[in-house]
Amino acid sequence: MFRRASTPSNGYRDLSLPIALFSYAVLIAGAIVMILPFIWMGSTACKPSPELSTIPVRWLPQNPVCGDNLNALYDTSPNFNRYLLNSALVTLGRTLGQLVTCSLAAYGFARFEFPGRNVLFALCLGLLMIPFQAILIPEFMLIRKLGWLDTFRALIVPGTFSAFALFLLRQAFLQIPIEIEEAAIIDGANPLRVLWHVTLPLSVPALAAFAVITVQAAWNDFLYPLIVSNTPNTRVVTIGIALLQGERRTPWNLLMMGSFLATLPMLLMFLLLQRYFIEGISMGGVKR
């Protein structure tokens, strides 16, 4: 029933001091470049309107008005908290849905032999090469025929499967020694109990990487919710931020304040799970 997995070999070597220093310099420079947009976002979120067009550009506001901009954001967009809640519900639904569907499928591809397994897995991975825009119109027509427009079902159900999550979890399951699962089978556990009580607890780093990637993708999704949601009851935070932009004037300080509030949960999650995220990606990248 199971297929034995071979133990991967690690190939690491120590770097010389000049190469190590050069590598650290490049990494620090790259980190600074990546952090600058977040600094600018926080700075702009606390600037009064007259300072938005000040020349030369100031990185820090002279007269911070963070509280006033926050109040102005909720005056301009009174449903902003609802948008945040909707994004949280959609993100939670998609994440749990992918955990169920992708873990079951990944365990089947990793441990069971059946006709056409490799072909079917290749077809699933082929979904990664299809741009979402190519299937947007057919998916919208299907959602409309089902009567799901402007509902959470339309926002959650189509996102409960991910080819990348399938690949990531399958690779992680292949790293687990098969003898552990065979011992559970001998003790009378069925495959579902083995998956729930043995395989998933031993795949915590991969699950953390899966959670970070899935939550980030669902939280930042914009195009699909824009198509299927039309009222504040189902709009997500990305659409709420976009609605702050007017036809003649864009309040960049309010837009950056909304972006800061929307970015904060993702930033905190990544800081908490970054160690597991890196380890999980490394597990998923081992060739089998």
The pLDDT profile of the chain, 288 residues, written as one tens digit per residue, is 455 444 444 444 567 888 888 888 999 999 999 999 889 998 999 988 888 877 787 788 888 889 999 999 999 999 999 999 999 999 999 999 999 999 999 999 998 888 988 899 999 888 888 888 889 999 999 999 999 999 999 999 999 998 999 998 998 898 888 888 888 888 888 889 999 988 998 888 888 888 888 998 999 999 999 999 988 899 999 999 999 887 678 888 899 999 999 999 888 887 877 776 666 555 554 444
What are the residue boundaries of the structural domains of the chain, listed by start?
Answer: 15-66, 77-284
- Please give the model's pTM, rounded to 2 decimal places: 0.82
How far apart CA 79 and CA 167 sit, in angstroms, is 38
Question: Which CATH homologous superfamily contains domain 77-284?
Answer: MetI-like (1.10.3720.10)
Residue 37's SS3 state is helix
Name the packing angle between helices 80-111 and 252-284 (round to 10°): 10
Residue 104, CB half-sphere, CA atoms under 13 Å: how many? Answer: 8
**How many Cβ atoms sit within 10 Å of the Cβ of residue 219?**
22
How far apart CA 264 and CA 253 sit, in angstroms, is 16
Contact 193, 184 (CB under 8 A): yes
Structure tokens at 250: 């864009």
User: DSSP states of 170-230 as a string?
Assistant: HHHHHTS-HHHHHHHHHTT--HHHHIIIIITGGGHHHHHHHHHHHHHHHHH--HHHHHH--
Structure tokens at 100: 């169920």
How far apart CA 127 and CA 159 sit, in angstroms, is 13
Percentages helix, strand, coil for the chain (3-state, rounded to 5) are 70, 0, 30
Contact 48, 253 (CB under 8 A): yes
Contact 244, 76 (CB under 8 A): yes
